[in-house]
Amino acid sequence: MMQRRFKQVDVFTAAPCLGNALAVVLDGADLDDAAMQRFARWTNLSETTFVLAPTPAGRAAGADYRVRIFTPGGELPFAGHPTLGSCHAWLQNGGQPQSAALITQECGVGLVRIRRDGARLAFAAPPLTRTNPAPALLAQVSQALGLRPDQVIAAQLLDNGPVWLGLWLDSSDTVLALAPDHVRLKTLGQKVGLAGAYSAQHASSLIAHSNREARAFAGRAQPSEAAPDLEVRAFAAPLGINEDPVTGSLNASLAQWLIAEGLMPARYLAAQGTCLERAGRVHIARDAGGQVWVGGESVTCIEGTVTL
Residue 204, CB-side half-sphere exposure with 13 Å CA sphere: 3
Cα–Cα distance, 45 to 2 (Å, whole number): 22
Catalytic residue set:
47
Whether the CB-CB separation of 111 and 104 falls below 8 Å is answered with yes
- Decide: 47 and 69 in contact? Cβ < 8 Å: yes
Residue 141, SS3 per DSSP: helix
| Residue 274 phi, psi dihedral angles, 5° rounding | -55, -45
**Nearest residue to 187 via CA among 254, 127, 238, 257:** 238
Residue 7 and residue 93 in contact, taking contact as beta carbons nearer than 8 Å: yes
Cβ atoms of 123 and 81 closer than 8 Å: no
Residue 51 burial by CB count (10 A; 0-12/13-18/19+): exposed, middle or buried? Answer: buried
Residue 253: count other Cβ atoms within 10 Å of its Cβ: 30
Beta strands in 126-264 (DSSP E): 129-131, 152-159, 163-169, 192-197, 230-236, 241-244
**Which are the contacts of 40, defined by CB distance < 8 A and separation ≥ 6?**
23, 47, 48, 70, 71, 72
